[in-house]
Structure 1
Amino acid sequence: MSFAELSEYRRTPPPRSVAALATAVLGLRRAPAVIVIRDDVPLFVASPHFTTLEVMPTSASASTPHQSALPLLPQRGVLPRDPARGEGLQSVALKAFSYNVPRWLDDDFVRSVERLGYSLRVDTEESGRWNDFSDVDVVLCTHPDDLDDERRKPPTKLIAAWSANVIPICGDYIGYREIGDATTMVIADRDADGYLEALRRLRDDPSLVAQVRASMPEAASRFSTDRVIDGYVAAIARAPRAKRHQAFTALCGALAVDILARVGRLFRRARRTSPAPI
């Protein structure tokens, strides 16, 4: 199951969610494996103790025997770069949630990109063009400015770029380094100057452009839907079954926390509605 849905992006998963999962495990005649996919959840948020396999976003984030790094499925419905664009480098795009667009991507950065001979497009959730790379030559793979731990970020932007046959410029982050190298992406320092320098390198070095473009199809094939699914099937088959006593302990603890929270809310409500003393 998705840990993002289970935890609801809170510092601890809601007791009701943990209780529901533990109840489902205990309700089966034979305990199943309990597998959570962390997605992009902060690493300090702990999964339930009876989890038997935690799918981690990067190899660097896997630190216990029951954790394993596996890629997410590639982005659905990708419209790849139009081959008719040829060898040109004109259009640069960044695709991110609006709240994750780096602060350094300001008007000065846009003008600097244009002085290098490119045009820049920022596709957020409002654009409806996250999947459309048809008129894009280069994509900027960034992370949020306030990222608490780079190990938690899966390299989905890089995989999407490979799948779309668009040259990726990647900030120097662990997730990108783990799956890519100088032949499959252009690494940049994590600030505006770093990305501008990478764009300048591409503009001035046709051999770099040719090298990255030639390597992307093979890189994308490593993360095809079939290969990713095969990896998950193999990991699920190896995952041990949950231990009933751990699930029962988690259920009791979650119910206790939930009951105490409910009692606390009732007590506070009663204090607010009780008549003032005469």
Structure 2
Amino acid sequence: MQNGVAGETGERRAVPHWPQPGLIPRDPARGDRLETIAYFGSNQYEPQFVKAGAFQDALRQRGVRFVNRFQGEWHDYRHVDAVLAVRDCPPVVLATKPASKLINAWKAGVPAMLGPEPAYRELRASPLDFLETASAEAVLDAIDRLRQEPGLYRMMAEHGAKRAEAFDVDMLTQKWIALLEEARERNRRETLHPTMRVIRYWGNRQKINLGKRLSGWRD
């Protein structure tokens, strides 16, 4: 699993998603300015409110520019001052998503304004981790806070850099090695009992299909 919200069991392990490859952090010369907010993600999940004229007008009144960073543009944070990560999709989908946008924001040195997703809330240990913004109004309030509360922008950036240390590539590599070694040992044991392996496979398939139907999942 890409987050630990559902908890670990004998058949389920949680491993954080890899950080964004080739990530370019925000230019330190930008200081505490907040002029550009960026949406990193898929265009199919981009929240509808960012396209509304009222929201765009409110940003212009604040001297803030909104930019889309869709597929292929997820690594460059040099001129980004804050990340907006709010998705329009069913809760059953959100429950499977990793906290990548938060972790990448920490690594990039920018505050994150995030939707109320389980993976983000799972990692939250301090008010400085991110600002939760479930609506256009909440996003505008967060922008105002970051610009008006003395030191808040800098504190969030510095705090995020410390949190990011727990999600470096070496740490994740060791988690994957441990997981694969565990899986290899389990596979070795089950190879000795091929009939039980087939029964387990079909049983798990049925559980997955039932879970999808009950949750309203649509592929």
TM-score for the superposition, normalised by structure 2: 0.80
Structure 2 equivalent of residue 96 of structure 1: 41
Amino acid at match of 1:108: A
What is the CA-CA distance between 1:250 and the residue it aligns to? 7.0
1:175 to 103, 109, 119: 119
Structure 1 equivalent of residue 96 of structure 2: 152
Structure 2 equivalent of residue 122 of structure 1: 68
Structure 2 counterparts to residues 167-246 of structure 1, below 5 A: 167-180=111-124, 181-188=126-133, 190-239=134-183, 240-242=185-187, 243=190, 244-246=194-196
- For the 8 Å contact 1:57–1:71, the answer to whether it is kept is yes
Amino acid at match of 1:114: R
1:247 to 197, 203, 219: 197
1:82 to 8, 27, 31: 27
Give me the whole-angstrom Cα distance separating, in 2, the residues matched to 1:252 and 1:196: 49
Amino acid at match of 1:238: E
- For the 8 Å contact 2:109–2:158, the answer to whether it is kept is no
Q: Judging changes above 3 Å, is the alpha-carbon distance between structure 1 residues 154 and 252 closer, same or farther for their aligned structure 2 residues? A: closer
Give me the whole-angstrom Cα distance separating, in 1, the residues matched to 2:5 and 2:59: 33
Q: Judging changes above 3 Å, is the alpha-carbon distance between structure 1 residues 252 and 140 closer, same or farther for their aligned structure 2 residues? A: closer
Give me the whole-angstrom Cα distance separating, in 1, the residues matched to 2:115 and 2:150: 21
Query: Matched residue of 1:121: which SS?
Result: strand
Q: Judging changes above 3 Å, is the alpha-carbon distance between structure 1 residues 191 and 71 closer, same or farther for their aligned structure 2 residues? A: same
Q: CA RMSD in A?
A: 2.2
Deviations 1:166-195 (A, max 9, x none): 11111222111111331222222x121122
Structure 2 equivalent of residue 111 of structure 1: 57
Deviations 1:234-258 (A, max 9, x none): 23333451322243447899xxxxx
Give me the whole-angstrom Cα distance separating, in 2, the residues matched to 1:71 and 1:251: 25
- For the 8 Å contact 1:57–1:151, the answer to whether it is kept is no
Deviations 1:30-87 (A, max 9, x none): xxxxxxxxxxxxxxxxxxxxxxxxxx12211236322121101111011111111122
Query: Matched residue of 1:122: which SS?
Result: strand
* Richer in helix (by share): 2
Query: Matched residue of 1:148: which SS?
Result: helix
Query: Matched residue of 2:22: which SS?
Result: coil
Structure 2 equivalent of residue 32 of structure 1: none
- Specify every segment of 5 or more residues in structure 2 that has no aligned partner in the other structure, as ranges: 204-219
- For the 8 Å contact 2:34–2:64, the answer to whether it is kept is yes
Relative to structure 2, which stretch is displaced further, 58-67 or 200-209? 58-67
Give the structure with higher Rg (CA): 1
- Give aligned pairs, total: 195
Q: Relative CO higher for 1 or 2, CA cutoff 8 Å, sep ≥ 6?
A: 1
- Specify every segment of 5 or more residues in structure 1 that has no aligned partner in the other structure, as ranges: 1-55, 254-278
Q: Judging changes above 3 Å, is the alpha-carbon distance between structure 1 residues 235 and 250 closer, same or farther for their aligned structure 2 residues? A: closer
Give me the whole-angstrom Cα distance separating, in 2, the residues matched to 1:197 and 1:145: 23
Superposed structure 1 runs of 4+ greater than 4 Å apart: 249-253
- For the 8 Å contact 2:23–2:77, the answer to whether it is kept is yes
Structure 2 equivalent of residue 136 of structure 1: 80
What is the CA-CA distance between 1:222 and the residue it aligns to? 0.8
